Chains A and B, each alone.
Chain A
């Protein structure tokens, strides 16, 4: 993924993720090896019909922003593979991307990043 930069274009490891049945609008998500879980914007839960009332909550700080995260499960489709994943829906979420983290993504996929040539490969693990 190339992004416009102030001096030069920026390359980021981002992949489209279908959330539930929102097939017409896969969310471009940043692969974040430092994130413990998938963190999506709160508006997305409402858009796909995930009821967060009564969901476990936690306060956290992401990128310097204090947010309230509601924990839920969602069907994600990545590289043609649909699976059930834990997701925390965060509000506010003023970032450009949602994040794919350890639980809910890297546990399920083998990811190869070649920043030198600007490509990323995602392969489902055998258990999927």
Chain B
């Protein structure tokens, strides 16, 4: 357990506490920075708020990010995801970038804001609808469940 000062308060945090606090919590829209917790991308301030109960207006993204980095979480910016620097695959509508963006969400319901922008991924369609309504976002490119296996994409049902 490590001790940090956030918003003039001392809080004790470790990876386990962070991960437990985010169980079942859907990520809010990511503006620029995110951290990866259990394979999901969250805004750093959302993570610290969930884990500490502190008001997010009382600390900055930079502070939250620094704490999470010290706890060993991966942090990055959205501009670097599914980059255009990847060599496009010929013959695919989006050069393979859409498939790459969807791959981490196999088996989950997702909302697509753009061809390669996954707004939210959840276990149920109702969670996706709730998230879109709460955050006033629109799935311009549709919502659906990413097939977990090739057979599902071909019209067969999962076993």
Contacts and interface: CB of A to CB of B under 8 A. Distances in A.
A4 B155 contact: no
Contacts of B94: 2
Interface of A: 1-6, 9-12, 14-17, 22-30, 32, 41, 43-44, 47, 62-65, 94-97, 116-119
Interface string B94-123: 101111101100100001100000000000
5 contacts: A5-B99, A25-B142, A32-B155, A47-B125, A63-B155
A41 B109 CA distance: 13
B66 interface: no
Contacts, number: 113
Interface of B: 89, 91-94, 96-100, 102-103, 106, 111-112, 125-126, 128-129, 132-133, 136-147, 149-150, 152-158
Given A24-B132, A24-B139, A95-B155, A11 B149 contact: no
A97 B152 CA distance: 9
Given A2-B98, A10-B153, A27 B92 contact: no
Contacts of B142: 14-17, 25-29
A41 B137 CA distance: 22
